[in-house]
Structure 1
Amino acid sequence: MIDTRVHRWLMPLLGRRRRGRRAPESFRPRGTSSKVSRLAARYDGEVDAALERLWPKARIYHDREFTRDRADFLLVVRGRGVMIETKVKSDRGLFRGSTLPPLLDRLQRDGRRLVVLLNQGDPTPARELVAAKLGDKARVIVWSGPADDEALQEAVESLLQQASRHV
């Protein structure tokens, strides 16, 4: 028997739109539709190109999965590793580093080195937070493009010269 009710075959095509029944924010899939997410994807690509340009013989590992306790990149130069975390702000205000504590806690346990790259803004509060957790094993710099390559290279090389128990 053929179902002649239009809404039964039309609703799956159009999707159910019931008022008042929305998925909680924590269950919604994370997309890249926001302005900051698009900026972050573009910024990560620019950082990757800069790392390849500054250290052509280095190994660069990308963390494709979004987590708060792992850095976005691992740069291995001359057998020593430096974690690179990228942060994107849509305005030029203060960067307080409120998303950094899970990563800092993990790196503090592991004894790894970290460079936090910020696209714009004032990183002073984040520098204080990072220094309190990791001391001289971390740097926070503003890197907005090839013009800032020297600051990036200086930060990574200073960390690579430190002795550490881990790569």
Structure 2
Amino acid sequence: MIDTRLRRLLSPLLGRPRDRPESFRPRGTSSRVSRLAERYDVEVDAALQRLWPKSRIYHDREFTRDRADFLLVVRGRGVMVETKVKSDPGLFRGSTLPPLLDRLQRDGRRLIVVLNQGDPTPARALVAEKLGDKGCVVVWSGPHHDADLHGAVEALLQQMVRHQ
């Protein structure tokens, strides 16, 4: 009880600086893919900030299969962003996406899956089956793919009607 009260008293004085980006959620393991995924999340976050400097980006602090990694809000409209990392350049089937797709299908939200490498054809079919034109899969591995990422997100944003 003392710790809680002390934290409550000191938190206004020691609050997090606003100029620092929100910290990313810790991954569950220390595997090579998890380390790559953590680094990839940081790179995608930087790309989103670079492409939409006036946007707001919210990070999910927990690792769950049914929630996206980011919420990107541009001009009052939101798009969920899920990052996926493959350690090999093969096919990306999207086997981990169904819980997220089911939830977003119920909620009516838009989703962009950002993949670091590989052929996303099977995952694109899965996303199209579940979300239709409210979802897409883009391969992004650096600034040379910024145009693809920008175009995909803007296409999803154009579909949306702003809620009054």
TM-score, normalization by structure 1 = 0.80
Distance 1:123 1:94, change over 3 A: same
Higher Cα Rg, which structure: 1
The runs of 5 or more residues in structure 1 that have no matched partner are 1-29
Instruction: Indicate the residue corresponding to 1:89 in structure 2.
Output: 86
Is 1:118 the counterpart of 2:118 in the alignment?
no
What's the secondary structure of 1:161's corresponding residue? Answer: helix
Name the CA distance, whole Å, in 2 between partners of 1:136 and 1:160: 11
RMSD between superposed Cα atoms in Å: 1.5
Find 1:54's aligned residue among 46, 51, 54.
51
Is 1:44 the counterpart of 2:41 in the alignment?
yes
TM-score, normalization by structure 2 = 0.81
Name the CA distance, whole Å, in 1 between partners of 2:163 and 2:36: 32
Is 1:156 the counterpart of 2:153 in the alignment?
yes
Instruction: Indicate the residue corresponding to 2:15 in structure 1.
Output: none
Percent of aligned pairs with the same amino acid: 83
Q: Equivalences for 1:22-37 in 2 at 5 Å?
A: 31-37=28-34
The runs of 5 or more residues in structure 2 that have no matched partner are 1-26
Instruction: Indicate the residue corresponding to 1:68 in structure 2.
Output: 65
Distance 1:127 1:156, change over 3 A: same
Does the 8 Å contact 2:77/2:160 carry over to 1? no
Instruction: Indicate the residue corresponding to 1:129 in structure 2.
Output: 126
